[in-house]
Amino acid sequence: MAQGTLDEKPRVRDYMTRDVATVDPGDTVADVARRIDESDEPHSGFPVTSGRRVEGFVTARDLLLADDGAPIFTIMTDDIIVAHPEMKITEAARVILRSGIQRLPVVDDPGKLVGIISNADVVRSQIERATPSKVRKLMETLTSIHGVDTAEERRTVALSDLTPTQNRVYTDELEGRSYELENGLAEPLVVIDNGGELLLADGHHRVKAAHRLDIEGMGAYVIVLAERVELGMAETADKQDLEGVTDIEEVDYAHHPLVETTKRLQKNE
């Protein structure tokens, strides 16, 4: 999960995977195919390294028509594009999207492999860019209405510590949120820390989907209030007896108020 303040420009180092599976130039096609088959993680390909120096990249497609005993250095692509950890994520996105490459090895100044950045990582970075503007507006609103100073932090919050401020979510949307969580694409939550009470301001569908998947903690932008204040959303939670994630009701889309209104309008025609 990316770190830093809202004003920092996100870099490749903020989103890259640091624990990178690699193969050796002398490994055989059969060796690498076996690793792909036995891995619990999806692999479209591997950086080929000698020590930590990148020599090339081999994809699953490269393996298809090669002899099982062929060494990887004979089929790998050795003219590859790499990224630097200090490269802006937007620049990496342009390279990935324009070239059609799914994963870029990330190398440091001495040319050593330090990570890998994927198209999924780029998508996640673009999703997260939308969240700071929500946070900033909410901070300004809280200061304006309650006259309280605020600060922003990035934390991993336990779902069991959150107090919901919305009493229902829609079942069909949970499917999309579950997919995002399973693929590392979920937008961070927005949480207000009001004197130690963690109020969930944005992300009720994500939290409910995470609960379904037995996920115990999620990344969040946390707005910390300098002093405890009486918040309308906290009063709403109290009135609706919302104490935890399990109190959020799942509603089928057919019962969405707008759909019901449309049906009533049709009956009145």
Spans of all domains in the chain: 12-122, 148-261
CA distances from residue 141 to 86, 145, 226, 233, 235 in whole angstroms, order as listed = 34, 6, 14, 13, 17
For residues 118 and 172, the model is more confident at: 118
Mean pLDDT of the chain: 84
- 8 — pLDDT class (breaks 50, 70, 90): low
For residues 45 and 198, the model is more confident at: 198
> So what CATH class is 12-122?
alpha beta
Distance CA 48, CA 38 (A): 19
CATH topology of domain 148-261: 3.90.1530
- 180 — pLDDT class (breaks 50, 70, 90): confident
E strand segments, the chain:
45-50, 53-59, 103-107, 113-118, 150-158, 162-163, 168-170, 189-194, 197-202, 217-225, 249-251
Task: List the structure tokens of 174.
Answer: 């949970």
The pLDDT of residue 127 = 64
- 228 — pLDDT class (breaks 50, 70, 90): very high
Distance CA 27, CA 17 (A): 23
Count CA atoms within 13 Å of residue 124 on its CB side: 23
Q: What is the CA radius of gyration of the chain?
A: 23
pTM: 0.55
- What pLDDT, in 10s, does the model give residues 141-179? 999 989 999 999 999 999 999 999 988 888 877 887 888
Beta strands 197-202; 162-163: pairing state: parallel
Closest to 220 in 3D by CA, of 186, 250, 246, 269: 186
